[in-house]
Structure 1
Amino acid sequence: MTSQSGVSRPRSSRWTNAAIGVAFVIAGAFVLADVAYATIVSAAFLAIAAICAGLVEIGLSIVAGGWRGFLLQFALGLLYIAFGVVLLSLPGFGSQFLTWALGVILLLSGIARVFVGVNYLRSGKRTMFFSGLLGVVAGFLILAGYPATSGWVIGAFLGIDLIVHGVGWLNADR
């Protein structure tokens, strides 16, 4: 069955959606039980992903052939690897850096959404504006408490995201 937009919904049963939802909620609860550990594990996972991306980037620079773009692509691969190695060898620093980056991104994207949302206030659409305010407040609180917030913020965000995602799956057929 297709919707009015012509995009078909994936076939799934209520049991499948419920199982996925419960799994995400349980995973989120486990993460929230130890947000500091989850923050360190998240930094380590990102480090491994950066190292893998760097290796792929270097491999592509070699396979692509020719000198045009080779040095830039090879250097980018080395930077990815260096970033990953630093994150992996200094997980505390990695958590601090990632928390700082998250705070800055939330603050700047929140400011941008507030400016965009101001245009919608006149028409009664307030979601973008309030979303921006939430981003500004979250970014400010993360940065105001920095570096103390670096021990738990990423783990808390991950846990909350998993729970909200699980609830979304539980309510998918309603």
Structure 2
Amino acid sequence: MSTTTPDNAAYGGPSLRSGIDTLRSRWGWIVAVGVLISLCGLIALGSVVMATAVSVTVVGFMMVVSGAIEMAHGFASKSWGRFFLWILLGALYALAGVFAIMNPLLAASVLTLMLGAGLVASGIVRIILAFQMKEGAPWGWVALSGLVTLLLGGMILAHWPVSSLYVLGMFLGIDLIFAGTGWIAMGMALRRRT
């Protein structure tokens, strides 16, 4: 006869139920975080150009830090070939980060062009894959998803370089609103369980 409790039956550790019980008492904080994240999303949508510039600047700082870490890894390498490759890779990464920090709107233009091209390519591949799916598979949904992605990428590219001023900030704002809404929904669901 097993001595494990239903809470610990599956994995031998704390269960999902005990984790949810811990979060129940903090549902108010979870809702507050969701509201704050959603407000940040609304602020980003209210000033998409500023949100674009800020997000590219933050990415630039992360690239500089990553480049420095890669160069430090290169100095720790034992062979000369790896040393030069890591140093070169880290230096290029840090240089691109400095470029993004110094001129975030120009960097946003390059990133938006890459985003639009990536969405177009992804949409085309999804449409091709949808028509190669077997009968009974949800090929229609995959094709629709590919068409929407293709159209979104086409719209971004059709309005480029002007679209680079607002696309990244708009995507950031929308993402923050959805993330905040998810936190709010989770907090309210925890409140109902108390």
Q: Same fold (TM over 0.5)?
A: yes
C-alpha distance in 1 between matches for 2:11 and 2:113: 41
TM-score by length of 2: 0.79
AA paired with 1:39? T
Match of 1:25 in 2: 38
CA deviation digits over 1:47-103, x for unaligned, max 9? 111111110000001012222411111100011011111111222211111111111
Deviation at 1:45, TM superposition (A): 0.8
Given that 1:121 and 1:129 are in contact with CA atoms closer than 8 Å, whether structure 2 keeps it comes out as no
C-alpha distance in 2 between matches for 1:24 and 1:120: 39
Deviation at 1:120, TM superposition (A): 4.5
Match of 1:168 in 2: 182
TM-score by length of 1: 0.88
C-alpha distance in 2 between matches for 1:160 and 1:127: 23
Match of 2:145 in 1: 131
C-alpha distance in 2 between matches for 1:8 and 1:150: 46
Query: Does residue 50 of the first structure (1) align with residue 55 of the second (2)?
Result: no
RMSD: 2.5
Deviation at 1:117, TM superposition (A): 2.8
C-alpha distance in 1 between matches for 2:64 and 2:142: 36
SS at match of 1:65: coil
Candidates 115, 131, 139, aligned match of 1:118? 131
Deviation at 1:19, TM superposition (A): 2.1
Percent identity of the aligned residues?
Answer: 31
Runs of 5+ consecutive residues of structure 1 not aligned to the other structure:
none
Match of 2:75 in 1: 62
Match of 1:79 in 2: 92
C-alpha distance in 2 between matches for 1:122 and 1:15: 48
Q: Kindly name which structure, 1 or 2, has the bigger radius of gyration based on alpha carbons.
A: 2
User: Which 4+ residue blocks in structure 1 deviate beyond 6 angstroms?
Assistant: 4-7
C-alpha distance in 2 between matches for 1:163 and 1:63: 43
Query: Does residue 105 of the first structure (1) align with residue 95 of the second (2)?
Result: no
Given that 1:40 and 1:92 are in contact with CA atoms closer than 8 Å, whether structure 2 keeps it comes out as yes
SS at match of 2:66: helix
Aligned length: 174
SS at match of 1:134: helix
AA paired with 2:109? Q
